[in-house]
Every structure is written in structure tokens, then in C-alpha cells.
Amino acid sequence: MTKRLLQLQKEIYRFETTDFETQEERNYVEGYSSKLYFFPVGDFFDISFYGNGFDEEPDTKVKDFDYESNFAFYAFLDFICEQENAEKLISLTFDGPDEGANGTKEWNFSRIINSNVTFPNLKSLKIQLTNLGDHNGNIVGVDYEEGGMIAKLMKKMPNLETLIIPSAPDKSFFETGKHPLKRLILQVGYDSQNFIENFAESDNFYQLTALDFTDLIDVYDMPEQNFVSFESFEKLFKSKAFSTVKHFKLKNSILSKDQLIGLQKLNDVQFLYIKAKGGRYVSHLMKEKQ
């Protein structure tokens, strides 16, 4: 597998440094151009992909494309969708530059979901989160909708222990059967999809000990009803599903100090509240003031 990964690295580099139409060389841009890096972990591999996550034709193999496309992402997904390769993966990371369209960077894993592949030994899946200063928000899905994509990935990863995602999964995430997930870090993206209450009513993540939850990144002074309510968190803190959680981080919430204290009184979980808010260009603020 090492030889095939090295070959894939070369193919990605060649594509990134060759103009598709003229076949002329172009510059490799550090921090922007796609790349693949990996290292062995015993008999398995920890692999990281850096690039963009859009997929315009997820049912078409990269070898069948006859025009310039998101080659690196397609080629990498085609590679890990081969069962013999998937069985060698212990950790997968998807990261990339801060770029996208209309303020959004979409990670589309339909190519994996549409395949028959499973990842029986995968322990960690990490998908790029959104930093407060980013121009584009990261999400998982197709056409701005998560659409159950995260749950479908989970079904293919039965032994996953760590999941880091930039979108809240829908209710089907809690209908995947018993799962040994231990650590979950998530940002809600554009829609919380009632995640907190769905979690409170679930029973499938029986080994979850650490939850890191980031509510909406508030850039435009959004109304309170857009955020997860105190009542929803109250249900969570009282629920059996939350009883295994030992560490809970809450970010970007609009809860008051009294509400936070009220939640802590309901449960002795180690509870860390992190107050944050999305950034704005000062030039935009100036225009709004005029």
C-alpha cells in the first residue's frame, strides 16, 4: 500500500503543477495546492488529505474524467473506496485552504456513500472545522444540506472512536444502532438539526465520554431562536444518553451565566463554556452604519 500511496502523491502533484489544457507547468502553491501525506501505524496507516471537498460527479471514476476537475479529492476517495485499502486505514483527516463558493466550503462524501466500501479498522475521522476568522464556513453535505451523510458514513465505520465534523448530523445519526464512539467534536454548520434534543433521546452512543459542541458562528447578530435553547440543553443534561459524558465543551452558545450554572447543577459533568463570536470586516460595518 505504501507504494500505491507514493504513486498517488506523485499523480496529485503532477496534476497540481500541470495546466490541463496546455500541458505547461504551473507553480505549486504551498497552503493552497492539494496534497496527500501519510505515515504507517503498525500494520495500518494514518492518512491526511489537503485540498477541496466538492464533487460534481460522484458516480464517475476519476480515470473516466476528460476535463479538469477536483482531481486530487476524486482520486483520493477512489483510492480509499477500494476495500483492500480501506481495511488498512486507522485514521483519516480531511483539511484544506480557506476557500469555497458563496462563503461555503462543502465536503461531499457521496463517492464513499455510493460505494460498497467499509472501514472496519478506522478509529478516527476528522473533517475540517471552521475557524472564527475564515472566509468560508465548512459543512458536510450536498447543495448546503447535510442530508444524513454523516450517519451514512458512520455505518461504514463500525469501530470509529473519534469523530470531528463541521456540520450537525440529522436524526438518522442516532438510528445507526449501537456504536462505540467515544469522542465527538462538532460544529452545527448552518443548521443544528435539533441535534441536542435528538441526542438526549438516543441510546446508541453508549461509550461517549467527551462531547465538544459549537453552536452557530454568529456573524450577523442572528436572533436568539436560531440558537439551541436552554430547554434543549436542560433535556440533554437530564438524559440517560448524557450520563456517560465526562467532559462537555460548549462554544458560541447564547446561554446566560445563570442558565449555565443551572445546567451544571443538574449534572456533575466537567463543563467548559467558551464564549466566541464570528468576525466581521470593518469595511462592512462602515457601510451598515451609513
Sheet with 270-274, side-by-side order of all strands: 35-41, 44-50, 89-95, 124-127, 162-165, 183-187, 210-214, 247-251, 270-274
**How many C-alpha atoms does 45 have within 13 Å on its Cβ side?**
22
**What is the number of domains present in the chain?**
1
pLDDT value for 94: 98
Ranking 41-55, 142-156, 204-218, 272-286 by mean pLDDT, the lowest is 272-286
- Distance CA(82)–CA(171), nearest Å, equals 29
Calculate ∠ Cα 77-83-89, nearest 5°: 70
Q: Specify the pLDDT at position 3.
A: 95
Q: Is the pLDDT of residue 282 over 90?
A: no
What is the pLDDT at residue 24?
Answer: 79
At residue 66, the pLDDT reads 66
Q: Are 47 and 93 in contact (CB under 8 A)?
A: yes
Q: Mean pLDDT over residues 32-54, rounded?
A: 96
21, pLDDT greater than 70: no
Say yes or no to pLDDT of 76 above 90. Answer: yes
In tens, the pLDDT along 151-172 reads: 999 999 999 999 999 999 999 9
**Per-chain mean pLDDT for the chain:** 93
What mean pLDDT is predicted for residues 213-230?
87
State the pairing for strand pair 89-95/44-50: parallel
**Confidence category of residue 281, pLDDT binned at 50, 70, 90:** confident
215-225 mean pLDDT: 81
Please state, for a pLDDT cut of 90, what percent of the chain lies above it.
Answer: 76
For the stretch 128-144, pLDDT in tens is 999 988 888 999 999 99
What are the residues whose beta carbons fall under 8 Å from the beta carbon of 193, sequence distance 6 or more?
Answer: 146, 168, 169, 170, 171
pLDDT at position 67 over 70 = no
Give the three-class secondary structure for 263: helix
Rounded to an integer, the average pLDDT of 29-36 is: 93
- Mean pLDDT for the stretch of residues 184-193: 96
Give the dihedral sign, CA 253/254/255/257. Answer: positive
Q: Is 44 helix (H, G, I), strand (E, B) or coil?
A: strand
Q: Determine the longest span between alpha carbons in the chain, in angstroms.
A: 66
In the predicted model, is pLDDT for residue 218 greater than 90? no
Angstrom distance (rounded) from CA 162 to CA 172:
18
How far from each other are the two terminal CA atoms of the chain, in whole angstroms? 60
**Where in the sequence is the domain holding 184, given as residue range(s)?**
2-289
Phi-psi region of 107 (alpha: psi -120 to 50; beta: other; left: phi over 0): beta
Scan for cell 444540506, then name that residue. Answer: 145
Residue 127 above 80 pLDDT? Answer: yes
Three cell numbers, residue 5: 500511496
pLDDT in tens, 177-186: 999 999 999 9
pLDDT at 73: 96
pLDDT at residue 200, as a whole number: 98
Q: What is the per-residue pLDDT for 240?
A: 97
pLDDT score at 261: 96
Q: Is a pLDDT exceeding 90 seen at residue 222? A: no
The answer on pLDDT for 69 being more than 70 is yes
pLDDT grade for 227, boundaries at 50, 70 and 90: very high
**Torsion of the alpha carbons at 113, 118, 123 and 129, rounded to the nearest 10:** -10
pLDDT at 54 > cutoff 90: yes
User: Residues 99-116: what's their mean pLDDT?
Assistant: 93
**What is the DSSP secondary-structure string of 138-154?**
EEESBTTB-TTHHHHHH
